[in-house]
C-alpha cells in the first residue's frame, strides 16, 4: 500500500512542531504590521507633544535615558518601513540564491531567525536614534524573510499527504493572526509613553519560539537527503506518522526523488534564472508568476497594513486603532473561511473576484476621502481587505507549482519571491511620499487603476490557469 493511500492522523509531536514553525510566520505578520500604530509616536508626529514630554519624564524609559521620540521627515518614515522589506529581500538572496536553506536545515534556520527577531525588536525598543530603528527593522525583515521561506518547507516536509492542505493553510493563517496581534497589542501600548512595549512584546514572542525550538524536530526529509542520517529520520518519522508501516516506503520515495551522481549525468541541465527570464518557451510561465507575485503587493493591501492608522487618522472621526484591528480580524476570518473553498471554486474565478472587489473598493475609498465621508471610508476599507483575502492574498504562492513545470518550479519560486519583495519595497517607500505630495485619495485611485490592469491581465493570460 502506498503512503499516499493511507490517511494518517495528526500526532501530538506533529501538531507541536507545526505550531512552533507557525510562530515564525506569525512573527512575519506581526512585524509586517507592527509599525502601523506606533509610527507617529516614534517620530514625534502627534498632538500635545509638550504635555506628553512632561508625562514621559516620570517613566522608567526616561530614567534610563531613552528619548520619548525622534523627529523624522516623510522620507525617513518611509525608510523605516522599507528597511523591513529590504531585509526580506536580502534574506531571500542569502537563503535562496546561495542555498543556505538546504545546507543548514530547517530547525537551525528557525532558531537563527528567532534570535534575529529578538535582537531586532530589542534594538527598536531601546533605540536612541533613527539609525538604530532602521537597523532593527532590517534585522526583523531578514528574520521574516527567512521564516517565510524555510518554515513552510519545514511544515510541508513534516506533514503527511492527507493533511498538507490543512496544515499548509495554517501558514497563511498564522501571518494573518500575526497582523491582528500587532494591532491588538497597539491598542494597549501604542501611545507616546509606552510604544516601546510593543517591541518588547515582539522580543518575548521570539524568545518563546527560541525556547520551544529545543523540543521541536528537524525535517526527516532534509536529514535523509542532505545528511544521509537514516536512523534519526526514521526515529522522527515514527513520532509524526500514525501509521508507522508506511515510513520505510515514504523514506524510500524521498531517496528515489533525489538523483545520484550517475543519474545526474544523463538528466538535462537544471533551468537557470537566465533561462527562465529569457527563453521563449518559458515566457508564459515567467509572465504568469510575475503577474501574480507583483500583483499581490502592488494592489495596495500593504498600504493599509503599513500605513492604515496614519491614512485613516487624517480622514476619519472614529477610533482608528479599533478599525485597523477589525480590518486585521476581517483578514484572518475571511482567510479561514475561504481556505476550504479554494479547490471547489477554482483559483482563477477567485482572483478575478478579488481584483474586481479591490478595484471598486479602492475607487470608493478615493471618492469618500475626497468627499469627507468617513463611514464610507471605513466600509470601503473592509471590502478592500475582504477582496484581498479571497484571492490575490492567499493564492499567488500556492499557484506557482501549478503554473510551472517540475524543472522550473524552484527557479520560479525564487523569481516570484524576489519580485514580490521588490514590489513590497516600492509600496513601503512610495505610499507615504504619495500621501504627502498628492493626498491619500490619489494613492487609492492609483491602486484602483493598478487592480484594473491586473484584472484585465488575468483575464487575458489566465486561460490555462486552474
Flag residues of the chain having pLDDT under 70.
1-5, 97-102, 163-168, 256-270, 406, 466
pLDDT computed for residue 24 by the predictor:
94
pLDDT computed for residue 161 by the predictor:
74
Q: Taking the domains of the chain in order of start, what are their residue ranges?
A: 1-258, 271-466
Report the length, in residues, of the chain: 466
| Same fold? 1-258, 271-466 | yes
Number of other CB atoms surrounding residue 203 within 10 Å: 18
pLDDT computed for residue 258 by the predictor:
56
pLDDT computed for residue 329 by the predictor:
95
The fold of the 1-258 domain, in CATH, is: Growth Hormone; Chain: A; (1.20.1250)
What is the Cα gyration radius of the chain? 23
pLDDT computed for residue 199 by the predictor:
97
Model confidence over 267-325: pLDDT tens digits?
445 678 888 889 888 889 999 999 999 999 999 999 999 999 989 988 877 788 899 99
User: What is the H or E stretch that residue 156 is in?
Assistant: helix 130-158
The yes or no reply on domain 271-466 and CATH 1.20.1250.20 is yes
Which residues in 141-156 are b (16+ Cβ under 10 Å) and which e? bbbbbbbbbbbbbbbb
CA angle 383, 385, 386 (to 5 degrees): 60
pLDDT computed for residue 261 by the predictor:
40
HSE of 240, CA atoms in CB hemisphere, 13 A: 27
pLDDT computed for residue 3 by the predictor:
43
pLDDT computed for residue 206 by the predictor:
97
pTM score, two decimals? 0.88
Amino acid at each position: 500500500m502506498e503512503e499516499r493511500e493511507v490517511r494518517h492522523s495528526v500526532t501530538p509531536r506533529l501538531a507541536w512542531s507545526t505550531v512552533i514553525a507557525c510562530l515564525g510566520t506569525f512573527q512575519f505578520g506581526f512585524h509586517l504590521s507592527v509599525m502601523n500604530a506606533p509610527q507617529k509616536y516614534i517620530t514625534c508626529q502627534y498632538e500635545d507633544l509638550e504635555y506628553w514630554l512632561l508625562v514621559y519624564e516620570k517613566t522608567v524609559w526616561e530614567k534610563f535615558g531613552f528619548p520619548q521620540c525622534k523627529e523624522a521627515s516623510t522620507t525617513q518614515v518611509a525608510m523605516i518601513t522599507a528597511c523591513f522589506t529590504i531585509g526580506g529581500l536580502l534574506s531571500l538572496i542569502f537563503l535562496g540564491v546561495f542555498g543556505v536553506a538546504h545546507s543548514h536545515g530547517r530547525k537551525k534556520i528557525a532558531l537563527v531567525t528567532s534570535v534575529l527577531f529578538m535582537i531586532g525588536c530589542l534594538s527598536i525598543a531601546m533605540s536612541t536614534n533613527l539609525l538604530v530603528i532602521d537597523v532593527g527593522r532590517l534585522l526583523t525583515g531578514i528574520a521574516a524573510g527567512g521564516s517565510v521561506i524555510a518554515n513552510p518547507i519545514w511544515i510541508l516536509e513534516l506533514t503527511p499527504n492527507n493533511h498538507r492542505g490543512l496544515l499548509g493553510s495554517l501558514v497563511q493563517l498564522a501571518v494573518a493572526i500575526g497582523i491582528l496581534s500587532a494591532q491588538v497589542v497597539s491598542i494597549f501600548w501604542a501611545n507616546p509613553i509606552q510604544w516601546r512595549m510593543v517591541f518588547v512584546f515582539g522580543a518575548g514572542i521570539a524568545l518563546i519560539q527560541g525556547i520551544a525550538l529545543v523540543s521541536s524536530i528537524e525535517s526527516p526529509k532534509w536529514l535523509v537527503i542532505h545528511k544521509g542520517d537514516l536512523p534519526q529520520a526514521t526515529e522522527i518519522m515514527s513520532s509524526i506518522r500514525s501509521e508507522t508501516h508506511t515510513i520505510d516506503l515514504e523514506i524510500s520515495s524521498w531517496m528515489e526523488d533525489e538523483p545520484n551522481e550517475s543519474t545526474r549525468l544523463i538528466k538535462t541541465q537544471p533551468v537557470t534564472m537566465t533561462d527562465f527570464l529569457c527563453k521563449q518557451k518559458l515566457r508564459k510561465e515567467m509572465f504568469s508568476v510575475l503577474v501574480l507575485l507583483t500583483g499581490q503587493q502592488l494592489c495596495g493591501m500593504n498600504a493599509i497594513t503599513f500605513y492604515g492608522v496614519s491614512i485613516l487618522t487624517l480622514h476619519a472621526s472614529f477610533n482608528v486603532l479599533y478599525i485597523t484591528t477589525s480590518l486585521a480580524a476581517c483578514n484572518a476570518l475571511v482567510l479561514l473561511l475561504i481556505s476550504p473553498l479554494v479547490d471547489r471554486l477554482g483559483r482563477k474565478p477567485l482572483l478575478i473576484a478579488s481584483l474586481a472587489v479591490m478595484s471598486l473598493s479602492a475607487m470608493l475609498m478615493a471618492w469618500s476621502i475626497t468627499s469627507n465621508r468617513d463611514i464610507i471610508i471605513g466600509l470601503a476599507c473592509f471590502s478592500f481587505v475582504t477582496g484581498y483575502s479571497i484571492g490575490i492574498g492567499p493564492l499567488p504562492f500556492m499557484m506557482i507549482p501549478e503554473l510551472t513545470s517540475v524543472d522550473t518550479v524552484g527557479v520560479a519560486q525564487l523569481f516570484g519571491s524576489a519580485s514580490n519583495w521588490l514590489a513590497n519595497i516600492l509600496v513601503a517607500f512610495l505610499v507615504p511620499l504619495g500621501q504627502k505630495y498628492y493626498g491619500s485619495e490619489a494613492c487609492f485611485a492609483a491602486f484602483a487603476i493598478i487592480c484594473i490592469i491586473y484584472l484585465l491581465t488575468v483575464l487575458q493570460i489566465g486561460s490555462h490557469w486552474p
